[in-house]
C-alpha cells in the first residue's frame, strides 16, 4: 500500500513538472487569407540587410510590437531597425479556437488587444515602398495572417 502511495505521488510530481515546463500564455490570432503561401523565417536585421530580396515575399518575423491610434510598428534590438505593420480587412485575425478577433474591442474592455511593448511573431507579406514615411520607414509587413503574443 505504501509503495502504491509513493508511486502515485511520484506520478503526480512528474505531471506537475511537465505542466510547469510547458510554455503558457501564448495567444495566437490567425487568418486563412495567406493559405497556400510559404513563409520564410527572417530576423528584422536580416530583412533590413536584404530589402530587395524580400520585397513581395511572405515572411515570419519577430520583434517588439508598438501600436497606438496613429501607427503600428515592429522594432528590433537596434535603433532604426523597424518596419510598419499594416493590418488588412481582408485578413481577419481570430484567436485560435474562438471567434474573438484581434481588433475585438468588446473582449478587451474597449481597448486594443494588449500587445504593446510585447515580443510578437507576425506572418505576412513584405512591401518595399518607393517613398519613406515621415520617420524614414520604407518597409512594411502587410496581409498579416498570424500574430503570436
Reported as a single tens digit per residue, the pLDDT across 1-54 is 554 455 454 444 444 334 444 445 689 999 999 999 999 999 998 998 898 899
Q: Compute and round to an integer the Cα radius of gyration of the chain.
A: 20
pLDDT confidence of 70, banded at 50, 70, 90? confident
Q: Give me the pLDDT at residue 12, please.
A: 47
User: Whole-angstrom Cα distance, residue 50 to residue 105?
Assistant: 37
Q: Give me the pLDDT at residue 30, please.
A: 95
Q: Give me the pLDDT at residue 62, please.
A: 94
Phi–psi pair at 78, nearest 5 degrees: -100, 145
Domains and CATH numbers, the chain: 25-148 (2.40.50.140)
Q: Does the pLDDT at position 121 exceed 80?
A: yes
DSSP 47-77: HHHTHHHHTT-EEEEEEEEEE-SS-EEEE-S
Taking the model in full, what pTM does it have? Answer: 0.76
Amino acid at each position: 500500500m505504501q509503495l502504491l502511495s509513493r508511486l502515485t505521488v511520484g506520478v503526480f510530481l512528474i505531471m506537475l513538472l511537465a505542466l510547469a515546463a510547458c510554455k503558457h500564455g501564448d495567444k495566437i490570432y490567425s487568418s486563412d487569407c495567406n493559405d497556400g503561401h510559404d513563409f520564410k523565417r527572417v530576423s528584422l536585421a536580416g530583412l533590413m540587410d536584404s530589402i530587395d530580396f524580400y520585397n513581395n515575399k511572405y515572411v515570419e518575423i519577430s520583434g517588439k510590437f508598438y501600436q497606438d491610434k496613429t501607427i503600428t510598428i515592429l522594432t528590433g534590438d537596434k535603433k532604426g531597425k523597424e518596419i510598419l505593420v499594416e493590418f488588412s480587412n481582408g485578413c481577419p485575425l481570430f484567436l485560435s479556437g474562438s471567434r474573438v478577433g484581434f481588433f475585438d474591442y468588446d473582449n478587451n474592455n474597449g481597448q486594443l488587444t494588449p500587445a504593446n511593448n510585447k515580443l510578437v511573431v507576425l506572418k505576412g507579406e513584405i512591401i518595399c515602398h518607393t517613398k519613406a514615411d515621415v520617420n524614414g520607414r520604407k518597409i512594411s509587413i502587410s496581409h498579416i495572417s498570424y500574430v503570436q503574443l
